Amino acid sequence: MMKKVVKMICLSLSILVLATAVFTPTASAADTGVKRVSVSVNGDTQTSRGFNWCTTTQTASVVKIMKEADYEGSFDGAVEYTGASAFFKDNYYHKVTVSDLEAATDYVYIVGDGTTWSDAGSFRTNAGREENFSFIAIADVQASGIDNFIRASKVLNAAETMLPNSDFTVSLGDFVNDCTNQEWDDYFTAFKDSNLNSTGVPVVGNHEGNLKWNWFNNMFNLGAPEGGATQTGSYYSFDYGNAHIAVLNTNDMYPMSQEQLNWLKNDMNKTDADWKFVFMHRALYSAGKNINKPDTVIMRNVLLPVIDELGIDLVMAGHDHMYMRTYQVKGDEVQQTQTVTELFNGVETEFAVNPEGTVHILPSTAGTKRYSLNEEAISPILDLAAKAFDTKSHGTFSTVEIDMDDESNTTRLVYKAYAFNEQDENAVPELIDSYAIKKDMGRNTVDPDYEELPETNAENIMARGFRFFNEMMKYMVLLFTKILPKMIF
């Protein structure tokens, strides 16, 4: 216990003194050819995608793409798009953005230099606000060593079997452990088929953000907003179906940058989508080992009131490698909800109806590092947990399905979490939690008088430093009055 206390104090002091430092990862052995291919959201999900890959020598950056309906095993009739490459940590990283696709269409593609190509990949474009959609979420692969990456990839493969028509895959951060070239090679080797054949929604974690500068943005082509810092990762947003989704960079803090907070407010206040989701790495509600640490506590103080104010329906996060789902919460209090039971895909399902507040979900981890439930989580987190448990013997994944019904003018969200024992050849995913919401459509409107907040130069370094110092002082008070006494006594 004493060791834990000393560690907490040392961590607080070291963050206070050393907010940033430089770490240079070691390079792996040379490789050749096209590798680390990803396709991800980049702007309008009906018409655009961002392609990213790397090579060890400088080559042209070319994507060949065609409708799957026209594909007969050859890319001869495909349209070619070109982009640019940049050198980073022993490799040339290629980015090509395609922005004239047709909505609701299946595409196939290859990437390469014009003569040497990757394997073929595929994705489907967003149909727009009128159509149902679904997605998969996993968190914290955070592996080191190909065997552990392969184990984690089996968890995602199980999710893809469970939800074969998923529209995109959210990875809630911490793809790798030490952010070396070898680890990224292993990640992209193990997850090759998934990354080639599903639109990715990557979230930056601390293992590819804090002190591991620029790695994340070299791995994915996301179209981050102009002016947003990309050294520690990216924040960005997109529409899918009748949802608007913001992806945060929780490394951009100490405390979270005013630019990112303003961007999030502008972004969510400008949408009238029926659903508002936020994906992020560090969790606002978790009963894991990191929740009492200064970075997370400060982020809670700064970000939670904004999430409450913006009427976010669902927040999904990672970082703490255990499972937790809150009740509907607002202002750190449970919101009472009415429910209705009706069929969803033939299954009787209980829906919270037009609930107030936000449900926060930490879907545990697809990886093999699995943490325990932290009974000392800062108050009132455990009181707000509808479910909180560790998943030591299984990897986990989550699915979200959204439908809408014009006749009743309602839209429904069904969330499910599964455990999957990736070491058992005969394992089938086991449902460990579910939750559902039903809302009237058209409840979110845009205020015509809304004045946009500045998204660049919103705060100078002095002001940010003062805000950080202020938040750290508040944390130190909390540490000595609430956190440490709870750990010691």
Residues engaged in binding Fe ion (CB under 5 A): 174, 205-206, 319
How far is the C-alpha of 254 from the C-alpha of 118, rounded, in Å? Answer: 40
- Residue 174 or 259: the one with the smaller Cβ distance to Fe ion is 174
Three-state DSSP state, 300: helix
Strand runs labelled E in 260-378: 275-279, 314-316, 323-326, 329-330, 333-334, 338-344, 347-353, 359-363
State in angstroms the smallest separation of the CB of 478 from Fe ion: 21
Q: CB of 278 within 8 A of CB of 243?
A: no
- Residue 205 or 395: the one with the smaller Cβ distance to Fe ion is 205
State in angstroms the smallest separation of the CB of 179 from Fe ion: 12
Name, in order, each residue with C-beta under 8 angstroms of 343's C-beta and a sequence gap of 6 or more. Answer: 349
- Residue 137 or 413: the one with the smaller Cβ distance to Fe ion is 137
- Residue 218 or 365: the one with the smaller Cβ distance to Fe ion is 365
- Residue 152 or 163: the one with the smaller Cβ distance to Fe ion is 152
State in angstroms the smallest separation of the CB of 149 from Fe ion: 16
How far is the C-alpha of 122 from the C-alpha of 37, rounded, in Å? Answer: 12
- Residue 142 or 271: the one with the smaller Cβ distance to Fe ion is 142
Query: Of 117, 198, 116, which Cα lies nearest the Cα of 164?
Result: 198
State in angstroms the smallest separation of the CB of 468 from Fe ion: 20
State in angstroms the smallest separation of the CB of 287 from Fe ion: 15
Helices and strands counted in the chain (H then E): 9, 25
Which residue type sits at 467? R
Tokens for 339, please give them. Answer: 């429910």
- Residue 205 or 241: the one with the smaller Cβ distance to Fe ion is 205
Strands 333-334 vs 62-67: parallel, antiparallel or unpaired: unpaired
State in angstroms the smallest separation of the CB of 360 from Fe ion: 16
Which residue type sits at 132? N
How far is the C-alpha of 124 from the C-alpha of 56, rounded, in Å? Answer: 30
State in angstroms the smallest separation of the CB of 290 from Fe ion: 7
State in angstroms the smallest separation of the CB of 139 from Fe ion: 9
When CB distances to Fe ion are compared, the closest residue is 319
The total number of residues shown for the chain amounts to 489
- Residue 367 or 429: the one with the smaller Cβ distance to Fe ion is 367
How far is the C-alpha of 212 from the C-alpha of 118, rounded, in Å? Answer: 27
How far is the C-alpha of 53 from the C-alpha of 343, rounded, in Å? Answer: 43
Q: What is the CA angle 163-50-113, rounded to 5?
A: 115
